[in-house]
Structure 1
Amino acid sequence: MLRGAPQGSVLGPYLFSLYVHPLLDLLNSFAGVTADMYADDPSIIVKGQSREDAIPTANMVLKKLHAWSQENGLANNPSKCEAAWFTLSTHTESDYDREGKWPLVVAGCQTPVMTMGASRTTKLLGMDLDPQLTLNVAATKQCAATSQRISQLRCIAHKEAGPSPHDLRTFVIGYGASKLRYGSERIWAVATDSAKNEMQKTYATLARIVSGVPSTVDPESALLEANMPPLRVLCLRARLSIFENTRACQTDWMRRPPPEPPPRAGFRISPLPRDELYAFVDAYTKDYGISESSPREERFFRSSIPPWFAASAHRVIIGVELPMDHSITKRS
């Protein structure tokens, strides 16, 4: 294989991410532009006061993207590119570009920009986005997709010929609830109460399949009988996990050096002034008769590289070469 990354493997997306990492650095270098990538799906966010400000910047970024792809042997697929105009305003007249003054061009092909009131929606990693980012459309479509799987799960949920309750619960959570909960931590933050209630009703139907109770049983009892936590608890738990990961990235926890041991008694936490430190060292060397010409042992580490500095790990030398006295090993 001369180029490309193997598909269907765990290592493939990682190798591809390493290869295209300079592209993200290039796109994020522009003012008002934020770029991110999940596997081979890039997402570019351009901020602007109006379409007249945002579209020219987006076209410039897309030209840089196309040029970088050609230089590095990658091909862009304009047919899979989608664009959306998100705004806090509820007015729709200014969102449309009826005269075609501000077209969005990707690799020589014009891409339509989804605005408020459009018949189609834009998808990001399988989630439908609406112009006001309420994610109600995503919640409705995921409930509909889960309902199709519920019909399939009911076909195998037989008390005598079907699987055991434990296996059925595992299968329902893995096949049915996973479809409903995809992106639920994001949906739960901005969706309306009607969309959340629809998701909870669908989740309660999955619990009734696991427990085998009739449809007249209330959702709380069905969840308790199926030993399944409520959907709102799962969504809040997932949102907390996202918050912790985001905070860890912002505070640089992943690359922080290991914590120092607690200070001893009489340990001075605040740093010493340089003059005071030099005076202390001079007095110490004078008391013990140490001069500049005194013999010194060779340093164990040849370079002062901290253990958490991975970029210079190849320069670290562990230990020193000591001369061996072969007379000790000779037999008499």
Structure 2
Amino acid sequence: LLNLLNSFAGVTADMYADDLTIIVKGQSREDAIPTANMVLEKLHAWSRENGLAINPSKCEAAWSTLSTHTESDYDREGKWPLEVAGCKIPVMTMGASRTTKLLGMDLDPRLTLNVAATKQCVATSQRISQPLRCIAHKEAGPSLHDLRTFVIGYGASKLRYGSEVIWAVATDSAQNETQKTYASLARIVSGVPSTVDPESALLGANMPPLHVLCLRARLSIFENARACQTDWMRRPPPEPPPRAGFRISPLSRDELYAFADEYTRDYGTTQNPPREERFFRRSTPPFSAASAQQVTIGEELPLDHSITDVVELMREKRRVSEEALAPHSRRSWILATDGGVDVPRRQGLEWCSHPRIPRR
């Protein structure tokens, strides 16, 4: 699909997970919109042939003018509409008298980075805390374990979305606002009243501090950029390849993890304070991340290959697996997945103590 869309003159297409962005260049709106409609027709035809579902209600468009002359603020969406799958998409104008919104964010070209980051922090935290509080306080809601999984997975990942970039430039008030929302998530998870202090709530919910999560998300940017550079051709593409000339200086995982360990020590997040002892019960990143690569990934089990009967073979597999797991049954197992666990950067770590899970 990306090859098809990028083959048109003046059209650039980019995709991340299931979000497709198409940029069309033109001398004027009257010139660009027919081109964009032609591209959207091709996209619609390709999607029908390949079973790709497009939701027109979630499609958004913005028109940005780089010119010495100011663009008129008049509403011309009706005259030059964009269409996909028979539905019209409104086209917002950047710099118009009303603020343009795209993907739920205000696009105001007059804002500086700090102000924009601060606005986004506050807006995100308010938007997320409202539905989560509703779900948490509803009597006939999900069971406690489901609720905990949902709140940590959905709430924390949404709060971290973009934080790895804007956390460093956000003002103190914006950081405090985000921290407050994170603490309220912890109170929901641990079931304590709203008067409990944030540290106790985090401890009760067994959730690490937000700045540590933001730091790890920030570090994973470097890891992902490194992965893009080295093994792009050998893996299925979750995102488009970096542009030509994309280079990043080599940085080993050990260096990154050592940096994370040092950073947590600087913040006083060490193994000594008794109130944080629960976080250090298992050696899990980021608190002892330097030793994270010493995990055993798999082990070959001795099977009797002379068995031909399927049922007997299954029994033999079960017996061998249980024997291999017996000495480890009281240990915690760490599962590293490449799929969509609760971390938005396609890396997930999940704890489980159930002896049957690793066998599956």
Task: Give the TM-score normalised by the residue count of structure 2.
Answer: 0.46
Q: Which of the pair has more CA radius of gyration?
A: 1
